[in-house]
Amino acid sequence: MSNVGIVIVSHSPLVAEGTADMVRQMVGDEVPLAWCGGNGHGGLGTSVEAIMGAIDKAWSEAGVAILVDLGGAETNSEMAVEMIGEPRSHKIVVCNAPIVEGAVMAATEASGGASLKEVVATAHELSPS
């Protein structure tokens, strides 16, 4: 049984990489993990193509949870999921939760074999109501 994958999408490549590093140090290699950030020109932003690549890298039959930092990351992640299409897109959820805490908590949950629904619920518990 495979664990849910985690994708971290930030406008800053350094934030994305740092968050992924924290996840790795806390949960090891138990969880498929990928990250992306920046606009490809060294500036802040996100790229639909980079997000699609990260989803492929972290792909798991158990599903993939995408943690995003700002609105543009969420919009581009949703576009990436649409472009990936069925049958995989129904196993991908974009989580609007605090990116660092959400990624760490989601990965911790995933490392224990939790379902995609459980992983997403754990990340969303951290969102301000």
Positive or negative CA dihedral for 81, 84, 85, 90? negative
**Number of Cα atoms under 13 Å in the Cβ half of residue 15:** 21
Of the candidates 110, 106, 105, 55, the residue with the CA atom closest to the CA atom of residue 77: 55
For the question of residue 11 being annotated catalytic, the response is yes
56's tokens: 């492929």
Out of 11, 41, 90, 124, the active site residue is: 11
Pair 10, 16: CB distance under 8 Å: yes
Q: Which residues form the catalytic set?
A: 11
